[in-house]
A and B are shown apart, each in its own frame.
Chain A
Amino acid sequence: MKKITLIFISFHFLFSIHAQIVDGLSIGIESNSAWYNDDKKTGAFNDENNNDQDKHLRFNKYIKLDYNFLSKFTVSAQLESYEPFALINYSSNLIGTNLGTYSLTYETTKIKATIGHFYEQFGSGLIYRNWEDRQLGINNALFGGKLSYRLLDFADLTVIYGNHRVGFETSGGDIFGFNSEFDLKSIFKMNGMALSMGFSYVGREEKTDLEAINYKSLTNAYSGRVDFSYGKFYSSAEYVSKSKDAIVLANNQVSNQFIKPGSGILFNTGYSKKGFGLDATFRRLENMTFYSERDKSGNIFFENIVNYTPGLTKQHDYLLTNIFVYQAQSSVSFLDPELMKVGEIGGQLDLFYNIKKGTVIGGKYGSKIAFNGSYWAGLKGDFDYANQDYKTETFGFGNKYFSDISLEIRKKWNSKWLSIFYFVNQYYNKKEIEGNFGAKPIITNIGVIESTYKLGNGKSIRIEAQKLWSDSENHDWIGSTLEFNLNSKFSFYINDIYNSGDDSSTQTTHYYNIGGSYTKGATRIGLNYGRQRAGLLCVGGVCRFVPEATGLTASVNMSF
């Protein structure tokens, strides 16, 4: 660690002397800290992941440096610190202070080569993706090498090899892959038409100590895809196939009898012109979980994850619209003869419409309308619990898991006053989605009204009122937010949600937050005190269950 100190100190002197050198330097700093309370209402502070009840004050810190030199080289390093432990809900593998990622990249117009940690995505990510999400504690960068080559201005070829980052270590299973993208527009020179194709391969090699295994240590996945657009119309399709591999049972046991292949189908089409947009997506996933180590399958921290299968539903923006959130169901799970899942099928539809200025409804400033609908179900097929086997129909819909219909209307009344009206209807099948036997499906209706009023001199006020009705006696929520912006630097808010239903875990508890932020340039400092509801924390379509927690949190973000 002394080395790191030395490196930074020498950087400091180097840049102080030669200010012009730093033109190629970019720096990001982030610190998220929390001071957790014992809460009279919801219980004493407890960190299950680290089995700790004492360390109430926690820090997650990140410093990332990217330095471009000699015009073709970039060195990148990210130092991370989780002391004394990470914030609660983070993997216990994130502990201490160390270099999280580091890499050296050489780039010309034709070639890009990286050694060290890198992030890559093939196609939509359905076959392969590395990404970082600090809020969820995800960082599955591959540690190894990557080489990309641009061939004749229409083809991009990439090879990768390495091991996943897990905490500050690397995973056991090896990952290697090849990706190709062909931009055919430049070949055919078609007017107003764009056509591109892609093909990928990803292999995962994980040896096992077991003798006489019925599956191969190497698992192969292939993806083929095509993108097409003509004028205002566009369309894309992708098919992914994963070779036969052992199913991982609920207790992280890698089965030697239950061995199945996986597949994914993704289809998207849309039409848009000025003032109007329509988009529809269909997806079917069957046994598409893919991890660099088999027994990490389905781990809640997304460690070792190879591919990206987000829930394709609308990501709502309000507290009460995020109580019942759908997560993609891509895994095989035979919990009980009554509860067998092998994947999901469904889709979503988006519509955007701009009512013109000067019309009766549009008024002086126009109105903007956004509609979204999504429907997800299990796969239809024959499931044999006793023999651990199944057969599915390609386009058959099984039990309904989830549906969501939402309508948003944005209306600007005058130059100072803007309102948003939001309505959501959801169906959530808790039994199927969460594997919760006793639970009944719940239907909810949620209404939100939000208004922002500009007071002048940079001051503005924003008010949100929310209400959730349901067909269950357990859930009947109200919520509200008040935000006051003093000027471009200071902002304050208070919000609260409250369930007057009978749900034993949330009833008669106020989940409130009060806080403020200071922003200057690219520096933001935020402070919050409040009680967090137990539930799914979702970022970018991946969700993690987080327990209840109360405390003071502070965040600092700086970019240079």
Chain B
Amino acid sequence: MKNIFYLIFFTIGSWTFSQEIPTTTLKDLDGSKVSLNQLIDNDNITVLSFWATWCVPCINELDAIADIYDEWKDETKVNLIAIATDDTRTKKRIRPLVNGKGWEYIVLNDDNQDLKRALNITTLPHTLVLKNNKIILRRTGYIPGAEDDLYEFIKENSN
């Protein structure tokens, strides 16, 4: 029985493929429903950053990017969408936190984590880079300076 797990582990590990974002409706900070797919700009790179108000590395990452986000946008027209996975306990903190910090990202709430589950995201922060609606990079965790590597990747892949 245990062996099945290892079999599956290695089977899946041997695949490589790109994947699309499922059709998804999330809520914006006003609580209105928004189609995520419509926000994704197919001509340019889109970054989906999954975070939560209680996740310190997530906030460190988004704070770090916020400092240089203007340059990123000017140079590559990249668009970052920050998807908060906060549930009811902390989701009321999203709007004051985002405004308080002055982040200029589009912020959406995946409050019962349907999208997070559909994309099989288990650890935060989790970053997806999309081009032509396909995931071209998945990344988890944040250490100081990792935003520079991310930007290098964005630059390489933007038109």
Contact = CB atoms under 8 A, between A and B. Distances in A.
Contacts of B13: 558
B2 to A, nearest CB: 6
Contacts of A1: 1, 4
A353 B100 CA distance: 5
A395 interface: no
Interface string A118-132: 011100111001111
B140 A125 contact: no
Given A28-B120, A352-B99, A517 B141 contact: yes
A308 B33 contact: no
Interface in A26-50: 26-30
Contacts of B96: 270, 272, 277-279, 350-352
B126 to A, nearest CB: 7
Interface in B91-139: 92-93, 95-102, 111-114, 117-123, 126, 134, 137-139
B19 interface: yes
A185 to B, nearest CB: 6
B88 A559 contact: no
B99 A272 contact: yes
Contacts of B146: 458, 488
A22 B135 CA distance: 13
Given A26-B118, A194-B31, A370-B100, A68 B1 contact: no
A16 B113 CA distance: 30
Given A4-B4, A66-B118, A370-B100, A279 B89 contact: no
A524 B119 contact: no
Contacts of B98: 272, 277
Contact of A522 (B1, B4, B117, B140): B140
A183 B30 CA distance: 11
Contact of B102 (A96, A196, A274, A521): A274
Contact of B7 (A5, A26, A370): A5
Interface residues of A, number: 98
A417 B158 CA distance: 31
A212 interface: no
A23 interface: yes
Contacts of A274: 99, 102
Contacts of A227: 31
A233 B49 CA distance: 26
Interface in B1-28: 1-2, 4-5, 7-9, 11-13, 15, 17-20, 22-23
- Main DSSP-derived SS at the B contact region: mixed
A368 interface: yes
A377 B87 CA distance: 23
B102 A275 contact: yes
Given A129-B112, A488-B146, A26 B19 contact: yes
Contacts of B17: 15, 19, 22-23, 25, 560
A519 B140 contact: yes
A15 B8 contact: no
A354 interface: yes
Given A234-B30, A488-B146, A522-B139, A120 B19 contact: no
Contacts of A540: 87, 89-90
B138 A559 contact: yes
Nearest to A452: B144
B122 A559 contact: yes
A477 B144 CA distance: 29
A486 to B, nearest CB: 9
Contacts of B95: 234, 270, 272, 277, 279
Contact of B54 (A134, A234, A317): A317
B67 interface: yes
Interface of A: 1, 4-5, 8-9, 11-12, 15-16, 19, 22-30, 61, 63-64, 66, 68, 74, 79, 81, 83, 96-97, 107, 119-121, 124-126, 129-132, 134, 156, 183, 185, 194, 196, 227, 229, 234, 236, 268, 270, 272-279, 281, 308, 310-312, 315, 317, 350-354, 365, 368, 370, 410, 418, 452, 454, 458, 460, 462, 485, 488, 491, 517, 519, 521-524, 540-541, 557-560
Given A4-B4, A119-B114, A559-B120, 5 more contacts: A11-B11, A125-B88, A279-B96, A540-B90, A557-B123
9 nearest A-B residue pairs (beta carbon): A277-B96, A352-B100, A28-B120, A541-B89, A522-B138, A310-B89, A277-B100, A272-B99, A121-B112
